Structure 1
Amino acid sequence: MKNILLFGAGKSATSLIDYLVSNAPRQKWHITVADHDLALIKSKTGKSYYVTPAAIDIRDEASRQKLIQETDLVISLLPAQLHILVAKDCLQFSKNLLTASYIDPEVKKLEKEIEDAGLLFMYEMGLDPGIDHMSAMKLIHSIEKKGGQISAFRSYCGGLVSPESNDNPWQYKISWNARNIVLAGNSGATYREKGKTKEVSYQHLFDQSKTIHIPSLGKLAYYPNRDSLNYISAYKLEEVPTFMRATLRYPDFCEGWGTLVKLGLTDDTKKIQTDNMTFYEWTSQHIDQDTSISHEENIANYLGISAKSKILRQLKFLGLLNSETIHLGEQTNASVLQHIVESKLGMEVTDKDMIVMTHEIEFERRGMSTRLHSYMIAQGEDNIRTAMAKTVGLPLGIMAKLILQDKVTLKGLHIPITPDIYNPVLKELEEFNIRFEESFE
């Protein structure tokens, strides 16, 4: 019997655990799920004969290494900064590693050692990054195989609230790690447009006027995602004039979030004492107060908006204009905001989320210019079995199965961009209603 070790039982782990457990009898494998919260593990695994819960502190080296030594394959859904602890142990004890997180500089330093050890460390094997790489590379390879010359590549993905659950002025609810949401985009973005490198600062990132039309959904806003140029060489599109990866949101979210950035409420660099600070005082900490006018008018004047603006409705919805005391001790603004959005923008039991992904590729073949649209919409079931959990977890589960069935010969540090990976993974994802539709113009 083969053994799989999963680190992390949080929001994104649900569908992965379901997949591993359902395949365990047929595949003859056993799963150990490790997390600091034993109750959380048991809520995800039930009483399955094929699962062992392990409540550990991931920073406890002895406990962590004991589990890694006893397994055949490691999957990490830990916070990104903790992956390196697991990666170094996997290298030391010769274990393959899968994770949905980005390749970071620390693991990049281990690239030659991983390859020399004959191990596979597959990073970015989730949704975005993950399914975006696989679906994009399948299209790119197909176009190139038929002699097409690509001139523009744009890829968009977003975790959104499903229309039937879209009932707040932010048009957003949290289906994944709230801290990542709060800090998203804080380093700005870089991409290529018509041969020129474009850089967008954090302060201007959430411009809701940038939109794209999605079939059956209508207009969604987007903002460039991190440094798109990092993937040009991986996709082998070095000569393509336009290359951008972007995040999708409803337009109202982008406008509201841009306001939070302008107010300085996403800053994570310095701590402030919140125990005697009201939410309005926190919200307006960078504003010179005019005591002759209302809180709403002070905020509106600073932002240059109407006192009846939907932005003020968004701020009120989060409770940012009230006189209640925060009482969170010493925190950064980003930590305070994380607490607020977790409280105000959480998913209710019956809420559903939605993943939207689309690729736009412009190419020329036999003298004819063509634009290819490929899009995928995945729906969640409820606030536990979310579309986010499905699209992050299922690619990891399928990849684990391929490795344990000895169907993967790839070694080294990789992301999923080769046909031997993306073909079987995308094919099985279709069994879970995660599939792409294509159109040409």
Structure 2
Amino acid sequence: MKNILLFGAGKSATCLIDYLLVNAPRQKWHVTVADHDLMLIKSKTGKSYYVTPAAINIQDEAARQQLIQETDLVISLLPPTLHIIVAKDCLKFGKNLLTASYIDPEIKALEKEIEDAGLLFMYEMGLDPGIDHMSAMKLIHSIEKKGGQISSFKSYCGGLISPESNDNPWQYKISWNARNVVMAGSSGAVYKEKGKVKETDYVHLFDQSKTIQIPTLGKLAWYPNRDSLAYMKAYKLDDIPTFMRATLRYPDFCEGWSTLVKLGLTDDSTKVQTDNLTYYQWASQHLKPVKDLSNEENIANFLGISAKSKIIRQLKFLGLLNGETIHQGELTNAGVLQHIVESKLAMEPTDKDMIVMIHEIEFERRGITTRLHSYMIVQGEDHLRTAMAKTVGLPLGIMAKMILQGKVTLTGLQIPVTPDIYNPVLKELEEYNIRFEESFE
């Protein structure tokens, strides 16, 4: 019997665990789920014969390495900064590794060692990154095979709240790691448009949000995502004039988040003591409040908006204008904000989320310019089996099955951009109603 070791039992792990356990009897594998929270693990695994819960501190080297030595395949859904310690252990003990996170400089530095060891470390095997790569490469290869010359590639993806559960002024609820939500966009963005490299810094990232029309949904806002240029080589589109990857949100979210950035509330560099600090004092730390004005008026004056505006309603919803004490010890501003959004923007048990992804590709074939639209909309079932958990977890589960069945010959540090990976994964995802619709202009 093969053994799979999963690190992390958080929000994105639910549907992956379901998939691994449903397939366990037929595939003859056993799953160990490791997390610091034993009750959380058991809530996801139930009483299956095919699973072993392992409550460990990931920093406990002896406990971590023992689990890795005893397994055949490792999947990591840990916070991104912790992947490297698991990766080094996998390299040490000769284990293949799957994760949904981005390739970062630390793992990139181990690329030759991974290749020399004949191991497969498949990164970016989730939703975005993951399904975006696979679906985009399938389109790109199809266009090129038919003689098309691509001139523009734009890809958009967002984890959103479903319209039926969209009931707060932020038009957003947390369906994945709240820390990642708070830090999203903090490194700014760079992309290429009409032959020119464009850079957007964090402070202006959300101000410049534009809109795109999504079939059946209407307009969504977008902002460029990280370093798009880094993927031009991977997609073999090095020389095209336009290349951009972007994040989708409802427009009100972008406007509100831009305000939090301007207020300095997403900063993760300096710690503040919150035990005697009110939410309003924290939110107004960069202001010079006027005593005769209300909290709303002071914030509004600083931002140059009306005290009755939608932005003020959003800040009120988060509780940032009241006199309650935060009382969370010493945290960075980003840490305080994470604490707030985890509470105020939490999904209720009956809430449903939604994933939207769309690719826009312009190409020329036989003198005719065509624009291809390929889009995917996935709905969640409830606050646990979310669209986010499905689209992050299922590609990892399918890839794990392919590896343990001996169907993958690829080695080295990889992302899923080759037909031997994306064709079978995308095909099986369709069985879970994760599929794309296409149209041409």
Please indicate the TM-score interval, normalised by the length of the shorter structure: over 0.9
Question: Which one-letter code corresponds to 1:233 in the other structure?
Answer: K
Aligned to 2:376: 376
Distance in 1 between residues matched to 2:211 and 2:435, nearest whole Å:
23
Q: Residue 360 of structure 1 aligns to a residue in which SS?
A: strand
- TM superposition shift of 1:7: 0.6
Cα deviation 1:271-308 (Å, max 9, x = unaligned) = 11111111111111101111121111111111011121
- Give runs of aligned pairs for residues 60-71 of structure 1, distance below 5 A: 60-71=60-71
Measured after TM superposition, the shift of residue 405 of structure 1 is 0.5
Deviation per residue, 1:180-205 (Å, 9 max, x gap)? 10011111100000010000010110
Does the Cα contact within 8 Å between 2:209 and 2:223 map onto a contact in 1?
no
SS of the equivalent of 2:32 reads: strand
The answer to whether the 8 A contact 1:275-1:328 is kept is yes
Structure 1 counterpart of 2:243: 243
Question: What CA distance in whole angstroms lies between the structure 1 residues aligned with 2:82 and 2:106?
Answer: 11
- How much has 1:390 moved relative to structure 2? 0.3
Q: Which residue does the alignment assign to 2:100? A: 100
Give the secondary-structure state (helix, strand or coil) at the position aligned to 1:362.
Answer: strand
Note the aligned Cα RMSD (angstroms): 0.7
Please tell me the residue identity of whatever aligns with 2:25: P
Q: Tell me the residue number matched to 2:16.
A: 16
**How much has 1:207 moved relative to structure 2?**
2.4
Once the 2 structures are TM-superposed, how far is the Cα of residue 327 of structure 1 from its aligned partner? 1.0
Counterpart residue number, 2:33 = 33
Contact 1:15 1:389 (C-alpha < 8 Å) held by counterparts: yes
Matched, 1:255 2:255: yes
Q: Does 1:122 find its partner at 2:122?
A: yes
Distance 1:325 1:7 in 2: 35
User: 1:276 maps to what in 2?
Assistant: 276
Q: Would you say the 8 A contact 2:191–2:227 is kept in 1?
A: yes
| 1:296–1:321 contact (8 Å) kept in structure 2 | yes
Paired position in structure 2 for 1:364: 364
Cα deviation 1:309-348 (Å, max 9, x = unaligned):
1000000000000111111121111100000001100000
Structure 2 SS opposite 1:82: helix
Counterpart Cα distance in 2 of 1:4 and 1:327: 41
Offset of residue 208 of structure 1: 6.0
Q: What corresponds to 1:398 in structure 2?
A: 398
* Whole-angstrom distance in 1 between the partners of 2:276 and 2:403: 54
Q: How does 1:197-346 map to 2 (within 5 A)?
A: 197-207=197-207, 209-346=209-346
TM-score by length of 1: 0.99
Number of corresponding residues: 441
Give 1:209 deviation, angstroms.
4.7
Deviation digits for residues 333-392 of structure 1, max 9, x if unmatched? 110000000110000000000000000000000000000000000000000000000000
Please state how far the C-alpha of 1:50 moved relative to its aligned partner.
0.4
AA aligned opposite 2:400 = A
Name the residue aligned to 1:351. Answer: 351
Q: CA deviation at 1:173?
A: 0.2
Q: Which moved more, 1:413-422 or 1:300-309?
A: 300-309
Structure 2 equivalent of residue 78 of structure 1: 78
| Partners of 1:208 and 1:255 within 8 A in 2 | no
**Whole-Å separation in 2 of the counterparts to 1:364 and 1:106:** 39
Q: Secondary structure at the match of 1:54?
A: strand
% of aligned pairs identical?
83
In structure 1, the partner of 2:186 is 186
- The residue type equivalent to 2:88 in the other structure is K
Cα distance per residue 1:210-262 (max 9 Å; x no partner)? 00000000000000000001100000000110000000000000000000000
Query: Does the aligned pair in 2 maintain the 1:278–1:322 contact within 8 Å?
Result: yes
8 Å Cα contact 1:354-1:380 kept in structure 2: yes
**What is the letter of the counterpart of residue 313 of structure 2?**
R
Q: Secondary structure at the match of 1:247?
A: strand
- 1:162 — aligned with what? 162
1:425 maps to what in 2? 425
Unaligned runs of 5+ in 1: none
TM-score if structure 2 supplies the norm length?
0.99
